[in-house]
Amino acid sequence: FVGLGKHEPLRIKDMLEVLKNNKPLQSYIAAQASDKIAQIATSQSIITTLLYGIVIGNMGLATILSVISMLPSIIFAIIGARYAGKHGSKNGIVTWTWASMVIAILMVLFFVLLPDTRSIATMGSLSMICYVVINFLLGGSRMCVTTCSTSFMADIVDYELDRSGKFIPAVVTGTYSLIDKIISAFGTVLATSAIALIGYTNTMPQPTDALTTPIFSMTMFLFYGLPIIGWVITLIAMNGCKLDRAEMIEVQKRIADKKAEALNEIAKENGVQA
C-alpha cells in the first residue's frame, strides 16, 4: 500500500487517473454536482426575494426559519449518520433523496392548491404551520442526504485503496473539489438567467412587486423543481454505483487481507517471523 506524500502536490495526472477508473467517484460527482447547482441557485438573494418577498410576502420569515431550523438540522444530521452506519452510505443517499423529492413535490402542491400564498405570512395561521412543518421536513431530509454523502466519500477513498492499492484521500477529494468548483459557477449564472426570462433584465426583484403567474412558476421551478431534477440525477447516478453496504464489507475484507499480506512481506524481508 502506498499513499501520497505529505508534501507532494496534487497532480492533474493522478486526478485524471482516479476519475477515469473510480466509478463510484464518477457517480458521486454526478450526484453532488447536480445538487450543488440547485443549491447555489436557490441560495441567491434574488431568488429568496422571489419566494419570501413576492410569493409569501414576508422577507423576515426566511431569517426566522433559518434560525429556528438549526436544532432540527442537527437532529436530522444525527439521524442520517445513524442510518448510513446501519444501512450503508449509498443506501442512505438513495433513501433520503427519495424522501426529499417526495417532500418537495408535496411543497409544490401545497403552494399550487393554496388559495392565497400570502396567507403563509400570517402568524399562527394554518397555512404558516403547514408551510413551516413541510419546510422543516424538507430541510431535515436534505441534511440526511448531506450526512450520508459525506460518509460516502470515505467509502470512495477505501474503494480506491482496494482498487489501486493507494491510500490517496487528498487526490480523491481534490478531484471532486476541482470539478465541484467548476460546476458550482453555473448556479449563479442559472439563477440570473432564470429571472431574466420573467422580465428582470434591468432591475432586481423587489418585495413590493406584484405576484404574477410567471413569477410564481419560476419561483417554484427554482426553489423546488431544480432540486427535484438534481435528485433524479442523483438516483440515476447511484443506481449505476455498486458500492453499497454489502460491497463495502467485501472491500474492507480485501483491504485487511492486503494489509496482512504486506506486513508478512515486510516481516520476511526483515527476517522476522510474522
More confident residue, 265 or 193: 193
Reported as a single tens digit per residue, the pLDDT across 147-177 is: 999 999 999 999 999 998 888 888 888 888 8
Cell of 89: 452510505
Sorted by sequence, the CB contacts under 8 Å of residue 120 that are 6+ apart come out as: 56, 57, 58, 61, 114, 127, 128, 131
Q: How many degrees, rounded to 5, is the angle at CA 91 between CA 87 and CA 92?
A: 80
pLDDT tens-digit series, residues 58-99: 988 888 888 888 888 889 999 999 999 999 999 999 999 999
